[in-house]
Structure 1
Amino acid sequence: MKKIAVLGTGYVGLVSGTCFAEIGHHVTCCDINEAKIRSLQNGVIPIYEPGLEELAEKNVSAGRLSFTAGIEPAVKAADIIYIAVGTPMSKTGEADLTYIKAAAQTIGEQLNGYKIIVTKSTVPVGTGKLVYQIVSEASKGKYPFDVASNPEFLREGSAVRDTMQMERAVIGATSEHAASVIEELHKPFRTKIVKTNLESAEMIKYAANAFLAAKISFINDIANICERVGADISHVSEGVGLDSRIGNKFLQAGIGFGGSCFPKDTTALLHIANAAGYPFQMMEAVIETNQKQRVRITEKLNRAIGPLKGKTVAVLGLAFKPHTNDVRSAPALDIIASLKEQGAHVKAYDPIAIPEASAILGDGGIEYHTELYSAIKNADACLITTDWPEVKEMDLQRVKQLLKQPVIIDGRNMFPLEYMRVSGFTYHSVGRPAVHADRQIKELAR
């Protein structure tokens, strides 16, 4: 059993700390945000993540998990210190290491014996060495310590499962001893261990996210070509995905990636490449394709119902993906901003992410709804931006009755074309032939 301090109580810190407690360690999760810590101490989890609240409550009750704003005593008491603070995108596109540096400075100042300092946050190559330097200078060389990189591979909405049943644990460290300790820490997860140096561990995280982002942008570009040549991207993705060398994951065409990782990490990797003197043109194209994909969905809406000024549009989904309240870089936010610029009134639906979205978008020209059909009622068209189960399971005949005209622009390809055809909708999706209600009416009249 180890004493672990986790600095940072975001998605990564909370989930990692809670899961380490679940496998038997004593974990203290720390944060400089005292209001957040008070909420956690009162049993209120500030993020929406299935299973996390129950698991945290269980381990708090068992005495293995605690929360504190007192970072200094937590650092002193710990054997292993995980840094899981934010690394937001700076104005230049590179990762902002302000919080990483501050955490390293605090650790160095409070160092009172040998400890292993582990970076869990996604950080540029070379950050591990920077952390080592800061801790060494702040501690004035009084105590030995090691630095390790143990990047996370969590998916929001399934983060607890992704930790308890992790596919692999990547460990880079400044000593074999430190690597072995972190490897032992992960044995209860029964996962594949990849041990390497600090730089490789840091690069693995960026390379993995960049590759997945590239798959998404690639299939979206293929989808855009499909629309022009009469092919169906759903069939193309199926056929391509059956190739074992490619696989079927991240081959779903749509309105592009969002969230806290892919947009930030692709841009940061591009900055790393530029700093190293390497022109990473492929990553530039991945980012450009992703941004343009959001514009294309509003262009389809324009073609379907004409100029948007004075029109009402129901936007279904604010979170960047279902089962999370995370709206960071969510496509819906850019799309809603575009709709408002064109003079449309927006009725936005999301079951859980409205507080987060409204804090960014404001209230001007937007109605927020947690009830699906009230958002759809009297809208000129319906635009699907998040594939929530509630949207996939909605009663389409009721939707048709509530809309002023039966128009759905589907950015997530949620419904079969034939079903939408017989249901009498004008239906535009991504990479598939459009369905036109007016053509069906003319065909039936013949």
Structure 2
Amino acid sequence: MKIAIIGTGYVGIVSGTCFSEFGHEVVCIDKDAAKVAALCQGQIPIYEPGLADMVAKNMTGGRLHFTTELSEAVPEADAVFIAVGTPSSRRGDGYADLSYLYQAAKDLAPHLTGYTVVVDKSTVPVGTARQVARVISETNPTADFDMASNPEFLREGAAINDFMRPDRVVIGVENEKAATVLREIYNALYLIETPIVITGIETAELIKYAANAFLAVKISFINEMANICEAVGADAIALAKGIGLDGRIGKKFLHPGPGYGGSCFPKDTVALLRTVQEHGVSARIVEAAVEVNAAQKARMVKKIRDALGGSETGLTIGVLGLTFKPETDDMRESPALTILPALIEKGAKVVAHDPQGMREAAKLLPDSVIYVENPYEVCLGADAIILMTEWNQYRALDFKRVLATMNKPVFVDLRNVYEPNKMRAIGFEYHGNGRGHEKR
């Protein structure tokens, strides 16, 4: 089938590339001429394992194209996927900014010729797809189209696998005609018996928010349990294993840490809260998860400060990892953006390393942060090392070498990557997260 993707951000470029891998003819469209020119040369604007190779393969195969012109793709498309950004409003009120989405709808409408399914791929509040349909109809009253919602469930760092072998595909439609088109687009997944959930448009929109909110609640829950573990002398790692083995709970997202971040959980939980408030209902569990997450990041500052003896003033802190999770260059809502400025404000010198995120981090963190190209450089003269993001390359460091170059042997492991007894045996003053049994 012929598919047009509007927007070449994270969702757009991954979706378009994977659809072309399914065998469809895909054209990705973006207003940014420089970005499109770079993509045509095989230069990918994001870091995502495996994506560059798959883009190159499908461009060579003639199935994947990039352009700035809607007229080159929309008129012939069987389906047009809108995958533009829906960031939090600049007003800071938590509402999703839908201006890019509505502009895309207005721009594509004149180019619709023949029956087309217009698919909202962006994460949007309930009711948005119907507003997009209204904009299209007002702009082009003769347009023959159906509106659909097809939310994405892509994890940064694992997006290719998530798209090619997903847990499920959610399709929100109003009639069988539109459903048939989308079934054909996802036929490759039918063949491997991927569950396909076909429902109404509003339900599909809400599924995305509900899924992210539930996972955010799970993260905040285990972080609260970790804090309790520290207070009573229990071990959060063993606790997580003990409850995660219950099939009704599951082990995923039960890893104590400095709080969730990224492009989805912070934005989507707050947007969901605004939606329920508008409709006169409540989501108190989600509200609590958001509050716990903010408090967790602040609590990590105190944890680091306590590990340093009560004050970070005049001390050098080495930081391993800056992105909100491994295998991405995404710094959006990363715990580092809350924790490190608080330490710098009190007089700490911060030296940091991240395999992929330093360029983005430099745009968002205070100018005083020093970035180095090797994790061992972080340790030179450091009064403490903080493990902020659990990149695999940090799991096999030569810790005797690390210890030998540090000023003080303080190691704060916010992700519980390392075994406390082994770290102490090497000579570190090791501080885990939620490991209250260490006090004994």
CA contact (8 A) 1:428 1:434 kept: no
Q: Following superposition of structure 1 onto structure 2, how do residues 7-86 of structure 1 map, counting pairs within 5 Å?
A: 7-86=6-85
The equivalent residue for 2:399 is 396
CA distance in 2, matches of 1:62, 1:127: 36
Q: Identity over the aligned pairs, expressed in percent?
A: 50
Q: How many Å apart are 1:138 and its aligned residue?
A: 0.6
Question: What amino acid is aligned across from residue 198 of structure 1 in structure 2?
Answer: I
So what's the TM-score if we normalise by structure 1?
0.95
The equivalent residue for 1:156 is 156
The equivalent residue for 1:188 is 188
Q: Following superposition of structure 1 onto structure 2, how do residues 266-345 of structure 1 map, counting pairs within 5 Å?
A: 266-305=269-308, 306-345=310-349
CA distance in 2, matches of 1:174, 1:109: 23
CA distance in 1, matches of 2:44, 2:427: 44
SS of alignment partner, residue 246 of structure 1:
coil
Q: How many Å apart are 1:92 and its aligned residue?
A: 1.2
* Structure 2: 5+ residue stretches without partners: none
CA contact (8 A) 2:109 2:143 kept: no
Question: What amino acid is aligned across from residue 107 of structure 2 in structure 1?
Answer: T
CA distance in 2, matches of 1:404, 1:433: 26
State the superposition RMSD in angstroms. Answer: 1.3
SS of alignment partner, residue 24 of structure 1:
coil
CA distance in 2, matches of 1:89, 1:72: 30
| Counterpart selection for 1:202 from 198, 201, 205 | 205
Count residues with an aligned counterpart: 434
CA distance in 2, matches of 1:174, 1:127: 14
CA distance in 1, matches of 2:438, 2:314: 25
Q: How many Å apart are 1:116 and its aligned residue?
A: 0.4
Q: How many Å apart are 1:299 and its aligned residue?
A: 0.7
Question: What amino acid is aligned across from residue 352 of structure 1 in structure 2?
Answer: Q
The equivalent residue for 2:127 is 126
The equivalent residue for 2:170 is 170
CA contact (8 A) 2:75 2:111 kept: yes
CA distance in 1, matches of 2:117, 2:373: 45
CA distance in 2, matches of 1:396, 1:119: 49
The equivalent residue for 1:372 is 375
Question: What amino acid is aligned across from residue 95 of structure 1 in structure 2?
Answer: A
Question: What amino acid is aligned across from residue 122 of structure 1 in structure 2?
Answer: T
| Counterpart selection for 1:231 from 234, 243, 247 | 234
SS of alignment partner, residue 129 of structure 2:
helix
Q: How many Å apart are 1:68 and its aligned residue?
A: 0.8
The equivalent residue for 2:138 is 137
Q: How many Å apart are 1:181 and its aligned residue?
A: 1.3
The equivalent residue for 1:442 is none
Q: How many Å apart are 1:72 and its aligned residue?
A: 3.1
Are 2:250 and 1:247 equivalent residues in the alignment?
Answer: yes
CA distance in 2, matches of 1:427, 1:292: 23
The equivalent residue for 2:433 is 430
CA distance in 1, matches of 2:380, 2:286: 41
Q: How many Å apart are 1:185 and its aligned residue?
A: 1.2
Q: How many Å apart are 1:112 and its aligned residue?
A: 1.9
SS of alignment partner, residue 77 of structure 1:
coil
SS of alignment partner, residue 76 of structure 1:
coil
Alpha-carbon displacement from aligned partner over 1:336-379 (angstroms, at most 9, x marks no partner): 1111111111101101111111011252x210012100111111
Q: Following superposition of structure 1 onto structure 2, how do residues 403-414 of structure 1 map, counting pairs within 5 Å?
A: 403-414=406-417
* Structure 1: 5+ residue stretches without partners: 440-446
